Chains A and B, each alone.
Chain A
């Protein structure tokens, strides 16, 4: 007998199916978008939430971690406090703010003066309907289960275009904020197209109130043209009970420079998925991140870097600091396609365990199909070096301060990669603040 065993849907999965059935008629977008949603729904209906038997989700079992599915968040009726919190973190940067509140573009809480001639900002579905050169949802990561869930429910966001050879005067900050007294789920999606030769510093942040178990499933599609230069910095400052999965799909053209940085200290369960495809020759990429965990936090950084063109260089460096009973996950896969000769890719991930009860899972992978490449990876996990601690303490520095100095040094090495000085300082300060909360 050929019996295919199909798992019974969890209550969260059932709820998501019901939510979609109820909302499909009112979700925004044209026929193309509706078809994308239907396709994503079919895949979800068949596969459900990703779980530990799915290799990419082995260490972050979303089916187990997401016990219930919250209802779709409605629009906020007043300016969310979380916007104030996150903008204060970036007060030294003064970026141009685009607020995405409860999964919808909120122009009323965004900076009014978006008059930079090199930048156009549109609501996501207006952008998608009016950009014949761009097809929504076709970038790297499009087959991922969480990205598919975002496609089912995406309620809004922005479409941002940086015109050819333009350099906006200020960094642009897309702030995703949850606002509300009761938990709900939000599904923002944004698209950023950086035309050839343009320069952009893009900050993406996530924040919300502590103690509310709101859910975020976000996606950002990033298209970087030839000779463009992009710095993308993602800041995870979610509330203490939040569950968030964020997917980035970036396609990078030729002779471009792309730097991506992911800083995460907030949230109960967070997964940052970074899919990057180097599609043009001669590009340099640097992808890095710092995660700071305590209590029972679970933070996952998953990367898939595809070298699909020759002569590209990529550097990946991730650091995780774990306290309490937290669990940190790093999965990094570098794929070098057959024709991507002369690829130079190096990946390093290091975990610093501050507690006996913390757990770090590091999984670096290389899949190389070209024969003339330089690729390498390394992974370490360990506690603070007692010899270093003794050296500092023997000079009169207290145990706590010695630890803080060593942890700060561990983190700063990676934060230093950020090109923008103001953002670098803001994140160093955020890391210091985190250190200050250690018992």
Chain B
């Protein structure tokens, strides 16, 4: 098992958000997490990545059988965890290229691997960005500054493709995207599917799952998983809505 979330209870500013969430993700598995607004989807994503101010009061998160809760976000990244942000932040003054290179080499260094040479790195970025419709001009600009919503999401997938994580958490990657942008992003994600890589695809809508077809679907309500099933579960949710789960976790 790559990831095990065990009975996770999380508070944010004294408000309980996750209430005993339990979830496992196998190696190579693509797991969709669906749920209504406020069910704790984004909280789960942030807790996995190690954001401050998310207080774990009970439970554990294991990656390769080892707890990651005491690790800083950069250590988790070096272990192969990646979060594609729902709202990627703008980083003024830091060129996208510099950012990608610093991140990749920092991870390699932590893992005891050699840094990539400039030509190797340039080649990697050129090839990867081409598929995502990201041009060189965009790479020279500061990270996400002045990017459209679609460009920001594509930039997240570019980072994922460069960093090659073992577990990618995609937090509402479909939000704010029109159908064309969604297709480009989904194709980018599908290209990264591999038996060595697991993904957690968090979404409110079933639409994304037409393009990124999950192996399993988990339904989150009030901070815990209330139902799990195959990809057909997403269609059922689309038809019936989340109302049926409103009282399950109460």
Contact = CB atoms under 8 A, between A and B. Distances in A.
Interface stretch (A14-22, A39-47, A60-68, A400-408): A400-408
Interface string A393-434: 111111101100110111011000000000000000000000
A390 B93 contact: no
In this complex, the member of A397, A399, A406, A410 whose beta carbon has the largest number of chain B beta carbons within 10 angstroms is A397
A392 B76 CA distance: 12
Given A393-B74, A396-B103, A412 B93 contact: yes
B49 A394 contact: yes
- B interface bracket (residues with beta carbon within 8 Å of A): 20 to 34
A270 to B, nearest CB: 25
Contact of A396 (B51, B94, B98, B163): B163
Contacts of B242: none
A397 B51 contact: no
A241 to B, nearest CB: 33
Contact of B77 (A394, A399, A406, A409): A394
B89 interface: yes
B89 A397 contact: no
Given A396-B107, A397-B102, A413 B93 contact: yes
Contacts of A402: 74
Interface in A362-411: 386-388, 390-399, 401-402, 405-406, 408-410
Contacts of B106: 395-398, 401
Contact of A390 (B51, B78, B104): B51
Contact of B94 (A390, A394, A398, A405): A405
A298 to B, nearest CB: 27
B202 interface: no
Nearest to B80: A396
B199 to A, nearest CB: 16
A408 B98 CA distance: 12
Nearest to B108: A396
Contact of B92 (A393, A397, A398, A409): A409
B93 A393 contact: no
A394 B73 contact: yes
B85 A391 contact: yes
A274 B85 CA distance: 45
Contacts of B52: 386, 390
A282 to B, nearest CB: 32
Interface in B66-99: 72-74, 76-78, 82-83, 85, 88-89, 91-94, 98-99
Contacts of B102: 397, 401, 405
A387 B77 CA distance: 16
A331 B207 CA distance: 56
Interface string B85-129: 100110111100011001110110010000000000000000000
Given A386-B52, A387-B89, A394-B50, A399 B72 contact: yes
A333 B83 CA distance: 46
B83 A394 contact: yes
Given A387-B89, A396-B78, A398-B74, A406 B107 contact: no
B77 A395 contact: yes
B110 to A, nearest CB: 7
Contacts of A393: 50, 72-74, 77
Contacts of A397: 74, 102-103, 106
A12 to B, nearest CB: 42
B70 to A, nearest CB: 15
B88 A395 contact: no
A393 B76 CA distance: 9
B91 to A, nearest CB: 6
Contacts of B76: 394
B83 A392 contact: no
Contacts of B85: 391
A396 B93 contact: no
Nearest to A408: B93
B113 to A, nearest CB: 12
Nearest to A410: B93
B19 interface: no
Contacts of A410: 93
Contacts of A396: 74, 77-78, 103-104, 106-107, 110, 163
Contacts of A412: 93
Interface in B25-66: 49-52
Contacts of B73: 390, 393-394
Contacts of B203: none
B159 interface: yes
Interface string A346-363: 000000000000000000
A406 B91 CA distance: 8
A399 B88 contact: no
Interface in A271-305: none
Given A394-B83, A401-B106, A388 B51 contact: no
Contacts of B107: 395-396
Given A390-B52, A401-B102, A405-B102, A395 B93 contact: no
Interface string B139-150: 000100000000
Given A394-B77, A398-B72, 5 more contacts: A390-B73, A391-B88, A394-B50, A396-B107, A412-B93
Interface of A: 386-388, 390-399, 401-402, 405-406, 408-410, 412-413
Q: Which 4 A-B pairs have the closest CB atoms?
A: A409-B93, A396-B77, A396-B107, A395-B103
25 contacts: A386-B52, A388-B91, A390-B49, A391-B88, A393-B77, A394-B73, A394-B83, A395-B74, A395-B99, A395-B106, A395-B107, A395-B163, A396-B74, A396-B163, A398-B72, A398-B74, A398-B106, A402-B74, A405-B98, A405-B99, A409-B92, A409-B93, A409-B94, A409-B142, A413-B93
